Amino acid sequence: MKRLITVSLILLGMVLTGIASIRYLHRVQTDMNALLTEAESVVEVDPARAIALCKEASDYWDKAEPILILFLPHSEVDEMAQVIAELSAYVEFDDATITVAAIRRACGIAEHLYTTQLPYLSNIL
């Protein structure tokens, strides 16, 4: 009976941890997309605001990255970190085309990180 309780508690802990990690990742993805989409919309009109939004997105990512690295593949987290680091430089060089492309790439990576963690059959196999 003790084994059944122990196994049940371990299984419950694993399920709750999985749910918590997916919820956290969803929140990070949603917040990053909101910041980056707003930066994309003002990059040509107000570069100073775009720089501030990219800095805010970078700071947000810096806070989220240590937690995400616990349950996501390091290569994907590093790819996102690299794109986020490049964003501010692109905005400062006043190259709107490259900046918009980098913002869209970052949004795509964030979406990919989230969708690959969902418990779909295609993600499990």
Task: Quote the crossing angle between the two packed helices 74-92 and 2-42, to the nearest 10°.
Answer: 20
Question: In terms of Cα–Cα distance, which of 92, 26, 24 is closest to 55?
Answer: 92
- Write the pLDDT tens digit of every residue in 47-58: 888 888 988 999
Q: Return the pLDDT at 6.
A: 95
pLDDT higher than 90, residue 89: no
Note the pLDDT of residue 108. Answer: 94
Say if domain 21-124 classifies as CATH 1.20.120.660: yes
pLDDT at 82 over 90: yes
Q: How large is the average pLDDT for residues 108-120?
A: 91
| CA distance to 1, 25, 26, 93, 122, per residue, from 110 (Å) | 44, 9, 9, 24, 18
Give pLDDT tens digits for 63-81: 999 999 998 989 989 999 9
Is pLDDT of 109 > 90?
yes
Question: What is the reported pLDDT for 124?
Answer: 76
Average pLDDT over residues 94-123: 88
Average pLDDT score, the chain:
90
Quote the tokens at residue 49: 């605001």
Q: Where are the domains of the chain?
A: 21-124
